[in-house]
Structure 1
Amino acid sequence: MKKYFILISTVVFYFVACQSTSTPERIRLKFNSEGKFKIAQFTDMHIINHSPNTAKTFATIKYVLENEKPDVAILTGDIVIRRPSREVWPLLAQLFEEAQIPFTIVFGNHDVETITRDSVFDILSHSPYFIGEKGPENIHGVGNYVLPVYGSTSSKPSLLLYCLDSNAYTEYKQFGPYCDDWIHFDQILWYREQSKQFTQSNNNQPLPALAFFHIPLQEFNNIVGKETTVGTKGENNTPGKVNSGMFSSMVDMKDVMGVFVGHDHDNDFIGMEYGIALAYGRVTGVDTYGKMERGARIIELNESKPCQFTTWIRTPKGGIEHTYYYPSGVTKFAEETAIYQPSLPVNPTKQGVSYSYYEAKFKSVDEIATAKATKQGTQNNFSIKDAASADSFGYEFRTWINIPEKTLYYFYTRSDDGSKLLIDGNLIVNNDGSHGTKRAVGSVALESGFHELCLRYFEDFREKELEVGFSSKNILETVIPDNILFIPE
């Protein structure tokens, strides 16, 4: 009884103090004077009233806020999970108010087991640093809203933060008791309408966006084991039972760059699916299962590079882990541990690509080595449009590619039929064989300067296609431009 009286007194004192504390009249998220905007994602805190572990969870949050100094904190569900919970929400809000950092929430499946969603928003509305919204009443869930982030010197949004309620447990009995719910179609329609309106107001160009909710999408299963997926997968992903189309709508609207969730405490991996980063946060709460050190995921954006971001995990003991560069999928660890191929001591002056053209029935690019060229020449880039034959031909292209900076690069070929790409004599992309249009990707660590690039391609029959591109942490994926290709001398 004595402990309970002290806790209630603390809550009363907190709300009285709020009235006299100097607070911002209206919080407006924006990039700072250096053109940076930083988000801290806390997830699965599982705060239990009167638990001694609550102090440890709060200490983790304080550490991250003090050391990362984010511009906003987003709590992605399963925040307060046991009765009595009403007294805990103001104490949690006080952490962000003391740090003078705006914060918001989305609900997890456990939050609504002790209190209604509307009640949580009503409680948090007393905190001047809370920027969440209940959202429309005519769709599933509470807390479907979008937060615009404005430019450092602009009155227009430069970034959007979509916050969605992934709901708790499905009402459909055929899935069994306590089956995780999903984002419903009416919520997806709401997102599409918001995205459409922001796109129209941005000269019909999609505004870069991030999305935050609790329960992962089924597409998280697709990135497991990919080369560009990094982090810890310590348990099975547990998305909702139904794929309602949220991800496909994000692909369709072309604005969301990354999705950030919680729910599965032993996962903190991030990877790419069709150009969208899918990421788990790091479990924050001590009063729940999970083997990893408690912490948070940090996302940092740069106003001058609106379609890129860097993200990492921050913990009190481990410091910074799993630094990941979007959209390249390059990681800081890979950069630091890679064996870099040195540049070559050449100084070509004429831009372009040399080629040898062959006519024969090929089933593999390796067969080109024993064929006799019927034509040789140069052109601006890798192109098969001038092939004399409609089918049964091949090319070997050679060029010096001028690599702009020392880092890890991804090269790809998209070809029908087969292709192989080599750099400095090493096979990087293997897209060989007789097949329809197919994309293949490979990575290589390169010093800045000139490197020899050899591309072999063959067309078997019917349709034909060839595209060659690359990316790095500072280069959005693009077809290799003419101005970095030089004819070997």
Structure 2
Amino acid sequence: MGKTTSHLRIIFLINLYLLYSHSILTIGFDDQLRTTPETDLRVGESSGRFKIGVFADLHFGENAWTDWGPRQDVRSLRVMSTVLEHESPDFVVYLGDVITANNIPIANASLYWDQAISPTRRRGIPWASVFGNHDDAPFEWPLEWFSAPGIPQILCPVANLSHSGQEECGFKGMYRVELMKKEIDNNIQSHSRNGPKDLWPSISNYVLQISSSNNPQKAVAYMYFLDSGGGSYPEVISSAQAEWFRHKSQEINPDSSVPEIVFWHIPSKAYKKVAPKFGIHRPCVGSINKESVAPQEAEMGIMKILVKRSSIKVERQLNKNFNTISKVDVLHMAVFVGHNHGLDWCCPYWKLWLCFARHTGYGGYGNWARGARIVEITEDPFSIKSWIRMEDGDVHSEVVLS
């Protein structure tokens, strides 16, 4: 079989596989299109806890024209399923690089996005997502396609009543706006949001409230989601985004009395400052420290705002004579990022924690074992702790973040 014929066959099979998978995954969801944002995230009434599973760097669709690529996606599904079965989280965060768009040779990259969220959706677990540097990167032509046989033509899926046959064809890819719209419109469990229309970049900048088990109006914690760029944007959190965070946090949590958790994909330059050297030593906690931090291109102000804001919960305690009240400041802010596949540590930085997730997907570089970061909030007495759940079921690197 010639090289061009082989490529044609592979791409045709990829298209058929994705269309079939998409039809299976969306059964039961098309008649429940979300019309209003879901906001009811509450601490469990019986458990008193709210548990978050963090899936980072899944890289679905990578090297889709090879045998290797689709196999990695299957293995990634297995990792997520294992974590979900062991932990049964109340919520899942997709922490960027959900897909490797620059490797996806079809126009509708959301089909791979649907594959990535399928283990969570199938279990009825709500989730939210932010974008990474690979999620809307333009398609990169593989070097081997420039060999003697030339770049292969694409065999488009056969048209039917549900699609024209052309929308899944081509090497155009999809941008953040389209990916987010597809996720929100087609999934009632998705809590992802576009962000303010007057904010640039506006996609995936939003905040969600975790409410008390006995009072839906009372906030136990806030989760902030920020787009750290990459792909079609520079790899930064812009000054406009930083100002949006400052105004929004001041509006809903003016005295910083409610703990705040922040999620974005590419680490800030502050991560490079606290990165442990030659292993991981206290007060940092983690298991792998196998590469240098690859930070954002520039610091535009978000870290200064976080340091000044760092959520402090005031607890009053009586001394032994029961006549003096003292104030105890308890640290309640953490930032979680992905991007670096060979790092999974948490380190303190001023009055907050900077944490990496764990490389979850089999797409992307690195041969380190896969897993996911778990974050658990306990309402009374309040605490935030985190650990890593591995693909083989093991647990390690537990750290109390409050």
Q: TM-score range by the shorter chain?
A: 0.7 to 0.9
With the length of structure 2 as denominator, give the TM-score of the two structures. 0.74
For residue 188 of structure 1, what is the aligned residue in structure 2?
A: 242
How much has 1:216 moved relative to structure 2? Answer: 0.3
For residue 468 of structure 1, what is the aligned residue in structure 2?
A: none
* SS of 2:376 mapped into structure 1: strand
How much has 1:23 moved relative to structure 2? Answer: 10
The one of 54, 59, 66 equivalent to 1:41 is 54
In the alignment, is residue 324 of structure 1 matched against residue 384 of structure 2?
A: no
Q: Conserved in 1, the CA contact under 8 Å of 2:136 and 2:232?
A: no
The one of 303, 310, 322 equivalent to 2:385 is 310
Change beyond 3 A, Cα 1:140–1:23: closer
Q: Conserved in 1, the CA contact under 8 Å of 2:211 and 2:218?
A: yes
C-alpha distance in 2 between matches for 1:273 and 1:22: 42
C-alpha distance in 2 between matches for 1:19 and 1:86: 15
In the alignment, is residue 119 of structure 1 matched against residue 178 of structure 2?
A: yes
* SS of 1:52 mapped into structure 2: helix
* SS of 2:93 mapped into structure 1: strand
One-letter code aligned to 2:303: F
Contiguous gaps of at least 5 residues in structure 2: 1-11, 138-172, 312-331
* SS of 1:299 mapped into structure 2: strand
How much has 1:94 moved relative to structure 2? Answer: 2.5
* SS of 2:262 mapped into structure 1: strand
* SS of 1:263 mapped into structure 2: coil
Q: Conserved in 1, the CA contact under 8 Å of 2:60 and 2:113?
A: no
C-alpha distance in 1 between matches for 2:269 and 2:72: 32
In the alignment, is residue 213 of structure 1 matched against residue 267 of structure 2?
A: no
Q: How does 1:147-158 map to 2 (within 5 A)?
A: 147-154=208-215, 155-158=217-220
Q: Conserved in 1, the CA contact under 8 Å of 2:262 and 2:336?
A: yes
CA deviations on 1:44-74 (whole Å, 9 max, x unpaired) are: 1111156111010011011111110111100
One-letter code aligned to 1:112: D
Change beyond 3 A, Cα 1:92–1:198: same
The one of 191, 195, 201 equivalent to 1:135 is 195
Q: Conserved in 2, the CA contact under 8 Å of 1:229 and 1:270?
A: yes
One-letter code aligned to 1:161: M
In the alignment, is residue 32 of structure 1 matched against residue 44 of structure 2?
A: yes
Change beyond 3 A, Cα 1:124–1:227: same
One-letter code aligned to 1:72: F
* SS of 1:112 mapped into structure 2: coil
Change beyond 3 A, Cα 1:318–1:290: farther
How much has 1:24 moved relative to structure 2? Answer: 12
* SS of 1:160 mapped into structure 2: strand
For residue 425 of structure 1, what is the aligned residue in structure 2?
A: none
One-letter code aligned to 2:175: T
Higher relative contact order (CA 8 A, sep 6+): 2
Indicate the structure with greater strand content. 1
Change beyond 3 A, Cα 1:90–1:224: closer
Percent identity between the aligned chains?
25
C-alpha distance in 1 between matches for 2:193 and 2:135: 16
How much has 1:27 moved relative to structure 2? Answer: 5.2
In the alignment, is residue 229 of structure 1 matched against residue 284 of structure 2?
A: yes
Change beyond 3 A, Cα 1:169–1:244: farther
In the alignment, is residue 168 of structure 1 matched against residue 230 of structure 2?
A: yes
One-letter code aligned to 1:149: I
Q: Conserved in 2, the CA contact under 8 Å of 1:30 and 1:151?
A: yes
How much has 1:309 moved relative to structure 2? Answer: 1.1
How much has 1:21 moved relative to structure 2? Answer: 7.6
How much has 1:205 moved relative to structure 2? Answer: 4.4
One-letter code aligned to 1:153: N
Q: Conserved in 2, the CA contact under 8 Å of 1:76 and 1:212?
A: yes
Count of matched residue pairs: 315
For residue 63 of structure 1, what is the aligned residue in structure 2?
A: 82
The one of 14, 17, 21 equivalent to 1:10 is 21
* SS of 1:221 mapped into structure 2: helix
Q: Conserved in 1, the CA contact under 8 Å of 2:264 and 2:336?
A: yes
CA deviations on 1:203-246 (whole Å, 9 max, x unpaired) are: x3432110000010111122233630122211000111312221
For residue 354 of structure 2, what is the aligned residue in structure 1?
A: 278
Indicate the structure with greater helix content. 2
C-alpha distance in 1 between matches for 2:369 and 2:256: 40
Change beyond 3 A, Cα 1:288–1:7: same
Change beyond 3 A, Cα 1:21–1:187: closer
One-letter code aligned to 1:41: V
Q: Conserved in 1, the CA contact under 8 Å of 2:136 and 2:231?
A: no
CA deviations on 1:259-283 (whole Å, 9 max, x unpaired) are: 0001111011111011211000000
C-alpha distance in 2 between matches for 1:189 and 1:3: 43
CA deviations on 1:178-198 (whole Å, 9 max, x unpaired) are: xx6111100011001111011
CA deviations on 1:141-181 (whole Å, 9 max, x unpaired) are: 3110001110001122211000000011697xxxxxxxx61
The one of 57, 77, 80 equivalent to 2:99 is 80
Change beyond 3 A, Cα 1:169–1:158: same
C-alpha distance in 2 between matches for 1:170 and 1:102: 28
Max radius of gyration: which structure?
A: 1
C-alpha distance in 1 between matches for 2:244 and 2:338: 22
* SS of 2:125 mapped into structure 1: coil
How much has 1:40 moved relative to structure 2? Answer: 0.7
One-letter code aligned to 1:92: A
Contiguous gaps of at least 5 residues in structure 1: 172-179, 328-489
